[in-house]
């Protein structure tokens, strides 16, 4: 398991987006589709992707923390891997980020 990094600072536009669209994200492990949500509507999340039928994930399998970023490949809380670094052959994050 990777060592947890300091949480990145959010800028004002990121905070506005979260307050409007949802604080947390659910993503498909197969096709990368993302849905933002608020904790109050977490029970409405689908366990399978409506686009490809793949597994969706909205919490870290190691520590159960929700994901704040659509581009997460490691948990911000515990550093555990939450999905592969590539989706459909494309890297999710730039190297070093």
pLDDT digit string (tens) for 32-80?
A: 999 999 999 999 999 999 999 999 999 999 999 999 998 899 999 999 9
Contact assessment for residue 30 and residue 54, using Cβ atoms and an 8 Å cutoff: yes
The full set of domain ranges for the chain reads 12-91
pLDDT of residue 26: 96
Q: Is the predicted pLDDT of residue 4 greater than 70, yes or no?
A: no
Structure confidence by residue, pLDDT tens digits, 15-27: 777 677 788 999 9
Global pTM value: 0.74
Given pLDDT bands bounded at 50, 70 and 90, which one contains residue 89? confident
Distance CA 63, CA 67 (A): 11
Cβ–Cβ under 8 Å, residues 14 and 22: no
In three-state secondary structure terms, 1 is coil
Measure CA of the first residue to CA of the last residue in the chain; give whole Å. 17
The predicted structure's pLDDT at residue 59: 97
């Amino acid at each position: 398991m990777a060592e947890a990094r300091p949480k990145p600072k959010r800028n004002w536009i990121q905070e506005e987006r979260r307050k409007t669209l949802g604080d947390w994200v659910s993503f498909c492990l197969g096709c990368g589709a993302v849905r933002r949500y608020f904790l109050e509507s977490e029970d409405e999340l689908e366990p399978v992707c409506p686009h490809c039928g793949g597994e969706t994930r909205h919490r870290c399998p190691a520590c159960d923390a929700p994901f704040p970023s659509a581009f997460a490949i490691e948990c911000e809380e515990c550093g555990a891997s939450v999905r592969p670094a590539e989706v459909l052959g494309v890297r999710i994050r730039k190297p070093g980020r």
